[in-house]
Amino acid sequence: MEDALVRSVVLKRDGIDDLEAYPFSIPAIRQLDELRLDPHVTLFAGENGSGKSTLVEAIAVAAGFNAEGGSRNVTVSTRPSHSVLHQHLRLVRGTRRPRTGYFLRAESFFNVATYLEDIPESVAWYGGRLHEKSHGESFISLVTNRFGPNGLYILDEPEAALSLRGNLALIRRMHDLVADGSQFIISTHSPILLGYPGATIYVLSDAGIVETRYEDTEVVELTRSFLDDRDQFLRHLFAD
Ligand SMILES: Nc1ncnc2c1ncn2[C@@H]1O[C@H](COP(=O)(O)OP(=O)(O)O)[C@@H](O)[C@H]1O
Ligand SMILES: [Mg+2]
Model confidence over 93-137: pLDDT tens digits?
A: 999 999 999 999 876 665 555 555 555 556 555 555 555 667 788
The tens digit of pLDDT for each residue in 205-238 reads 999 999 999 999 999 999 999 999 999 999 999 9
The tens digit of pLDDT for each residue in 3-44 reads 999 999 999 998 898 999 999 999 999 999 999 999 999 999
Residue 222 lies in a domain: no
The tens digit of pLDDT for each residue in 134-191 reads 778 888 888 999 999 999 999 999 998 899 999 999 999 999 999 999 999 999 999 9
Residue 169 has a pLDDT of: 95
Q: Is residue 60 over pLDDT 90?
A: yes
- 194: CA distance to ligand 1 center in Å? 22
Residue 237 lies in a domain: no
The H or E element containing residue 122 is: helix 120-125
Residue 64 lies in a domain: yes
Domain of residue 52 covers: 6-213
- For atom 17 of ligand 1, the residue with the nearest CA is 51
The tally of domains found in the chain comes to 1
Residue 62 lies in a domain: yes
Q: Is residue 77 over pLDDT 70?
A: no
Best mutation site among 54, 56, 157, 190 for ligand 1 pocket (most ligand atoms within 8 Å of CB): 54
Residue 103 lies in a domain: yes
Residue 240 lies in a domain: no
- 52: CA distance to ligand 1 center in Å? 8
- 132: CA distance to ligand 2 center in Å? 26
Number of residues that this document lists for the chain: 240
Ligand 1 atom nearest residue 23's Cα? 12
120 vs 68 pLDDT, higher one:
68
Rounded distance, CA 134 to CA 166, Å?
12
Residues with CB under 5 A from ligand 2 (ion): 52-53
The tens digit of pLDDT for each residue in 196-214 reads 999 999 999 999 999 999 9
Residues with Cβ within 8 Å of residue 39, at least 6 apart in sequence: 1, 2, 3, 4, 5, 7, 94, 183
- φ/ψ (deg, to 5) at 2: -70, 165
Residue 226 lies in a domain: no
**CATH code for the domain in which residue 54 is found:** 3.40.50.300
Contact call for residues 108 and 79 (beta carbons, < 8 A): yes
What SS3 state is found at 237?
A: helix
Residue 28 lies in a domain: yes
- For atom 8 of ligand 1, the residue with the nearest CA is 54
Pairing of strands 200-205, 89-93: unpaired
